Amino acid sequence: EDEQIVAEIMRRRFFPALITHKAWEGFHFAGHEIRISETTDCYGAVVWPSALVLCYFLETNTKQYNLVDKNVIEIGAGTGLVSIVASLLGALVTATDLPELLGNLQHNVVQNTKQKCKHQPCVKELSWGIDLEKNFPRSSCHFDYIMAADVVYHHPFLEELLLTFDHLCENDTVILWAMKFRLERENQFVDRFQTLFDLEMISNFPSLDITLYKAMRKGRMKA
């Protein structure tokens, strides 16, 4: 079953028939052909398999996770594929990443969502752990969903990432997080994450070493 679903997910990706001056990859999600411009000079400017896993989940679980008119923020949006798919599915999306990635992110978002979405997504700078209250004040920023794909890897900002999840997540916010396991450090982050959030595995793909999680804040008020 794992291999069958992974094969279906990977069939959503296509490449240009001819070599062009600008590298791009194509994807079929949410009834649209999505073209993503990439660069190979940094991690955040290529599409990683975790993003495809999350996009496939969003597309195939619209009844349980209806994004229409929901406020969504993607952290570490990179090329913007997840944000684009969420927008095409009806969400009001804020796509965030580091300053040096915003140009390519903005380009991809506009090219693939203009006049195609109920809500035009916005692109915003977010450096994990920095000026969170200033740029995303809790009094006015409420997100129904936080989305993240492959934000945990060998980088020195895992504590800042955890602070960012904590700041953006309210009692009723749902986190959807696709993660590729590479090193023991990733497991340690999951342990730290679970001190603040209830974590549930909703999909697992051993052939990709990718797990898709749903999380919500611990101690939240329940209906």
Q: What backbone torsions phi and psi does residue 166 show, to the nearest 5 degrees? A: -60, -40
Question: What's the pLDDT at 140?
Answer: 93
Q: What's the N-to-C CA distance of the chain in angstroms?
A: 35
Is the pLDDT at 221 greater than 70? The verdict is no
pLDDT tens digits for 85-132? 999 999 999 999 999 999 999 999 999 999 999 999 999 999 999 999
Give the integer Cα–Cα distance in Å for 109 and 31.
Answer: 16
Residue 178: what pLDDT?
96
Question: CATH fold of 1-217, please?
Answer: Rossmann fold (3.40.50)
Please give the pLDDT value at position 183: 65
Residue type, 126: L
pLDDT value, residue 182: 72
Q: Report pLDDT digits (tens) over 151-207.
A: 987 677 899 999 999 999 999 999 999 999 876 666 788 999 999 999 999 999 999
Q: Element (H or E) spanning 25, and its range?
A: strand 24-29
Which residues, at least 6 apart from 182, have a Cβ–Cβ distance to it below 8 Å? 153, 154, 209
Distance between CA atoms of residues 7 and 205, nearest Å: 11
pLDDT tens-digit map of 142-166: 999 999 999 987 677 899 999 999 9
Answering whether pTM is above 0.95, one says: no
What pLDDT is attached to residue 43? 56
pLDDT of residue 223: 41
Give me the residue spans of the domains in the chain: 1-217
Query: What angle is formed at CA 218 by the lines to CA 213 and CA 222, rounded to 5 degrees?
Result: 100
Residue 111 DSSP symbol: H
In one-letter notation, the amino acid at residue 49 is: P
